[in-house]
Amino acid sequence: MFGLGGSKTIVGLDIGSSCIKAVELKRSRGGIEVAHLGVEPLGSDVVVDSMIMDSPAVASAITKLFNENAIKVKAVATSVSGHSVIVKPISIPARSEAELDDDIKTEAAQHIPFDIDVVNIDYQLLSDDLSGPQMDIILVAVKKDKILNYTNVLNMAGKTPALVDIDAFALQNCYEYNYEPAPNTTVALLNIGASVMNINIVKGSKPLFTRDVSVGGHQYTDSLQKELDLSFDDAEALKLGQKVGTVSEDAKVPILQQVTEIIVLEIQKTFDFFRATAAGEHIERIYMAGGSSKVTGLMEALRQEFSLPVEVLNPFARISYAEGTPAAEFIGQNSGQLAVAVGLALRSFDDL
């Protein structure tokens, strides 16, 4: 979205609340393959509500991540989400793209609840047919201090910020490349992170509706910690289906279900609002991504609530990787956690 410099190869860097994910891709004879990837955990309260609170800690984690996984490329694409990000579909009087480039600030000022001087603005056309009286676009605005919050940390780590994207759009980029959706296929993409859930409803390659919700995996962990008197690490392990001490399924399941109900309700609200504003559009399938997509019972709860096919998005459906490597081991454990980083790394190949 917000280009900051030119580079052939870009490392996708997803800075989340619980960990940082890095993915570097390269061309191969068969298409695209993984060059390097890695994950580095972050301490609690280092990133809160999508804002980096401890810049030196994140910069140090990025340096460690690159060094330990032999990532030499310095150009980085990262992404943001949360309250400082506005993504809004609007209809405006038709005009040429050159005229729209000149007028976009004026149009944006009518739709954005921030002072226009404190945001960076971009847009995407939603229709190839510009012959009608109106044109539909997706308007994107991000507070400048939000972008600086991330790019300053990248600079501190000795990396070059190449572009800043939106989490929901990076996820969509990953989906489009790997699934090659038909133009009329409408799906919901859910990126369920530690503290934020990104929802992007997409028709073919067109984003129809996006929303960020401040719920995620940390709520599962917090509830397990409090209710079962566990350490953070034990609660995390239990959340992801591992056996912890003498904790039984009967003790764990009701706690997970309570949080799942909150997450499902937020998704339901989003779907209801989408249906009310997008007449005739029907979601056909749900794809889940993010570190919390593997929480026990969440997928089944979504299937039951929405009566739709639900599956974990595979960021490597069309991207190859070497078997028997640490990267392959991590992909096998939780590939959905890497979806946003893969979507960002694919910006290296925008000609595809």
CA atoms within 13 A on the CB side of 52: 29
Choose from 84-88, 152-156, 251-255 the range with maximum mean pLDDT: 152-156
160 vs 7, higher pLDDT: 160
Within a domain: 252: no
**Confidence class of residue 294 from pLDDT cuts 50, 70 and 90?**
confident
* Residue-number span of the structural domain to which 60 is assigned: 2-219+257-349
- Average pLDDT of span 134-162: 93
> Which pLDDT does position 271 carry in this prediction?
95
> Which pLDDT does position 306 carry in this prediction?
96
Q: Is the pLDDT of residue 344 over 70?
A: yes
Within a domain: 160: yes
> Which pLDDT does position 59 carry in this prediction?
97
Within a domain: 16: yes
pLDDT over 70, % of the chain: 97
Q: Is the pLDDT of residue 92 over 80?
A: yes
- Average pLDDT of span 42-47: 88
Average pLDDT of the chain, as a whole number:
90
Q: Is the pLDDT of residue 123 over 60?
A: yes
Q: Report the predicted TM-score, pTM, of the whole model to 2 decimal places.
A: 0.92
Phi, psi angles (nearest 5°) of residue 47? -125, 120
Q: What is the pLDDT of residues 219-231, one digit of tens each?
A: 999 999 999 999 9
- Average pLDDT of span 67-93: 91
> Which pLDDT does position 325 carry in this prediction?
81
- Average pLDDT of span 72-76: 95
> Which pLDDT does position 101 carry in this prediction?
83
Beta carbons within 8 Å of 159's beta carbon, 6+ residues apart: 11, 13, 62, 66, 74, 75, 76
The amino acid at residue 281 is E
> Which pLDDT does position 90 carry in this prediction?
85
3-state secondary structure 225-244: HHHHCCCHHHHHHHHCCCCC
CATH of the domain at 213: 3.30.420.40
> Which pLDDT does position 14 carry in this prediction?
97
**Confidence class of residue 97 from pLDDT cuts 50, 70 and 90?**
confident
Within a domain: 170: yes
> Which pLDDT does position 6 carry in this prediction?
47
Q: Is the pLDDT of residue 41 over 70?
A: yes
Q: Is the pLDDT of residue 116 over 70?
A: yes
Within a domain: 247: no
Cα 139 versus chain centre, distance: 18
Within a domain: 232: no
Within a domain: 53: yes
- Average pLDDT of span 16-22: 93
| Residues 142 and 2 sit within 8 Å (Cβ to Cβ) | yes
> Which pLDDT does position 2 carry in this prediction?
56
| Residues 168 and 199 sit within 8 Å (Cβ to Cβ) | yes
- Average pLDDT of span 40-51: 88
> Which pLDDT does position 113 carry in this prediction?
86
Q: What is the pLDDT of residues 268-291, one digit of tens each?
A: 999 999 999 887 889 999 999 998
Locate the DSSP E strands across the chain: 2-3, 11-15, 19-28, 31-41, 47-48, 51-52, 75-80, 85-93, 119-125, 134-143, 160-166, 186-192, 197-203, 206-213, 285-289, 310-312, 319-320
CA atoms within 13 A on the CB side of 180: 4
State the total domains in the chain. 1
| Three-state SS at 299 | helix
- Average pLDDT of span 170-183: 96
Within a domain: 208: yes
330 vs 201, higher pLDDT: 201
Q: Return the number of other C-beta atoms located less than 10 Å from residue 90's C-beta.
A: 16
**CA distance linking residue 107 with residue 112, whole number of Å:** 9
